[in-house]
Amino acid sequence: MASQAILLLQKQLKGTHAQINPSHAGLVDEKNIFEWNVTIIGPPDTLYEGGFFNAIMSFPQNYPNSPPTVRFTSDMWHPNVYSDGRVCISILHPPGDDPSGYELASERWTPVHTVESIMLSIISMLSGPNDESPANVEAAKEWREKRHEFKKKVSRCVRKSQEML
């Protein structure tokens, strides 16, 4: 199973280098295909515009049957990002029915997802937070009730990400 994952990840890594999209991907360690450094550029016309947000994408040995995890290593203030940087979006949740009944099985992980589709989903998440099912309750509350404060915190994250270049 791991050899299938290795071949698929090698192919997807080459594909991300060939794609022109608002992101970058590479290996954390050349000897470990299962852990990638990714950089997501804040999408235009959003609060995150101009930011360069780094994250680690960790793939399980049985990829693509199970989803990777994605954790921002850059500061990130967002309703769908836990305080430790872990991204919480439906396509990164294990396949099948949601035990809490919030998500449809069709919204969760399926083996057809690729690194590119994951990164596009994260870019989409930055463009439109889901405050109905937050990973960061404080950020979601601020997004709903104190938008000015939310914007100030995101602006700090963007500036800090630019300084890290």
DSSP letters, 90-149, are GGGSPSS--TTS-S-GGGS--TT--HHHHHHHHHHHHHS---SS-SSHHHHHHHHH-HHH
The proportion of the chain whose per-residue pLDDT surpasses 90, expressed as a percent, equals 76
Q: At what angle do helices 115-127 and 2-18 cross, to 10 degrees?
A: 60
pLDDT at residue 21 tops 70: no
Residue 3 confidence class, pLDDT cut points 50, 70, 90: confident
Confidence tier at 91 by pLDDT (50, 70, 90): very high
Q: Are 91 and 106 in contact (CB under 8 A)?
A: no
Cα 4 to Cα 2: distance, rounded to the nearest angstrom = 5
Catalytic residue, chosen from 25, 57, 88, 89, is: 88
Parallel/antiparallel/unpaired status of strands 52-58 and 69-72: antiparallel
- Average pLDDT value for the chain: 92
Number of domains composing the chain: 1
Q: What is the pLDDT of residue 14?
A: 79
pLDDT of res. 2: 75
- Token pair 């590479």 is found at 26
Active site residue 88: yes
Residue 161: which of 30, 29, 71, 73 has the closest Cα?
Answer: 73
Task: Provide the pLDDT for residue 20.
Answer: 44
Q: Rounded to whole angstroms, how far apart are CA atoms 122 and 51? A: 14
- pLDDT for 12 equals 87
Residue 73: closest CA among 43, 46, 36, 44? 36
Tokens representing residue 25 in the block: 């991907």
Angle CA(154)–CA(115)–CA(7) in degrees, nearest 5? 150
- Domain housing 79: 2-163
96-152 per-position pLDDT tens digit:
988 888 888 999 999 999 988 999 999 999 999 999 889 999 999 999 999 999 999
What does the pLDDT average to over 82-100? 94
pLDDT for 47 equals 97
- Please report, in angstroms and rounded to a whole number, the separation of the first and last CA atoms in the chain: 37
What is the CATH number for 16? 3.10.110.10
